[in-house]
């Protein structure tokens, strides 16, 4: 099973300062979403897909009225979205490490 993203990791990400053209710690305007908000929305969507897939699998196992094809589709969607989020995280970490290694 794919591990669910915990609320503690989401809260830790929410506490992180954001970068904006005007400086550190500034909040984004309502018209222009911040990078942090986009990431948090993506995490929420991935978590929702995982929860939905877990519920579908649970209903299938307990004999609920669900289509096995829909359960498999929900599971695969959750798996693919989780893998994509992990790849995005890996790319962000890689970019951070490259920026950190730049000599000034």
pLDDT digits (tens, 9 = 90+) for 50-93: 999 999 999 999 998 889 999 999 999 999 999 999 999 999 99
Q: Can you tell me the distance from the alpha carbon of 27 to that of 36, in angstroms, rounded to the nearest whole number? A: 10
pTM, entire model? 0.63
Q: Can you tell me the distance from the alpha carbon of 52 to that of 75, in angstroms, rounded to the nearest whole number? A: 8
Give the DSSP letter of residue 34: -
Q: Dump pLDDT digits (tens) for 14-52.
A: 444 444 444 444 554 557 889 889 989 999 999 999 999
Q: Can you tell me the distance from the alpha carbon of 81 to that of 47, in angstroms, rounded to the nearest whole number? A: 9
- Quote the radius of gyration of the chain (alpha carbons, Å): 18
């Amino acid at each position: 099973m794919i591990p669910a993203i915990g609320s503690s990791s989401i809260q830790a990400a929410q506490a992180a300062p954001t970068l904006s053209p005007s400086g550190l710690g500034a909040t984004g305007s309502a018209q222009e979403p911040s990078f942090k908000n986009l990431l948090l929305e993506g995490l929420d969507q991935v978590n929702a897909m995982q929860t939905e897939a877990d519920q579908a699998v649970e209903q299938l196992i307990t004999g609920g009225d669900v289509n096995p094809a829909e359960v498999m589709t929900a599971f695969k969607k959750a798996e693919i979205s989780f893998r994509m989020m992990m790849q995005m995280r890996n790319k962000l970490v890689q970019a951070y490490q490259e920026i950190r290694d730049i000599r000034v």
